């Protein structure tokens, strides 16, 4: 199975994205989402009289923030085959079978398991360091690869 996927990758003239490129794309996406989230809840933050109240306020929106992350990842991967961070880094997500951008269910699966990997101390991301295809847990469950554009 491993060799079969790598052969499809080679025949499609695609190569796996490096882990540093993926890490930088991750950082860009996280910064964009953090800024967007702060814009969304800015009116509530501005209404606080004590700066120490910011942390409990932000923590009260944990579920909403996780939904924002899943929606962002799902919609961008489904629509463009990449998030904004990946587009900036010129890397894209492809389905292991078709070597095309993933369908909606794969994009949603990938987004949900990405958040789960984050919640488990990023262990799912670390998995990519020890995997021949550089797949993290969310890539494995969604049957995707991250490739250079």
pLDDT tens for 112-128 read: 999 999 999 999 999 99
pLDDT at site 3: 79
Give yes or no for residue 94 having a pLDDT over 80: yes
In tens, the pLDDT along 1-17 reads 577 988 999 999 999 99
In tens, the pLDDT along 45-80 reads 999 988 899 999 999 999 999 999 999 999 999 999
CA distance 29 to 7: 30
CA distance 39 to 46: 11
CA distance 36 to 1: 40
């Amino acid at each position: 199975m491993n060799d079969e996927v790598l052969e499809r990758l080679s025949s499609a003239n695609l190569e796996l994205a490096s882990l540093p490129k993926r890490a930088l794309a991750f950082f860009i996406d996280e910064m964009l989402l953090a800024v967007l989230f702060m814009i969304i809840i800015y009116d509530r933050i501005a209404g606080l009289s004590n700066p120490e109240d910011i942390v409990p306020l932000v923590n009260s929106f944990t579920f909403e923030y996780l939904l924002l992350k899943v929606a962002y990842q799902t919609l961008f991967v489904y629509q463009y085959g990449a998030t904004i961070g990946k587009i900036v880094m010129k890397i894209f997500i492809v389905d292991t079978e078709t070597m095309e951008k993933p369908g909606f269910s794969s994009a949603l699966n990938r987004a949900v398991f990405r958040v789960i990997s984050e919640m488990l101390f990023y262990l799912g991301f670390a998995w990519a360091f020890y995997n021949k295809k550089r797949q993290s847990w969310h890539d494995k469950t969604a049957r995707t690869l991250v490739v250079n554009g």
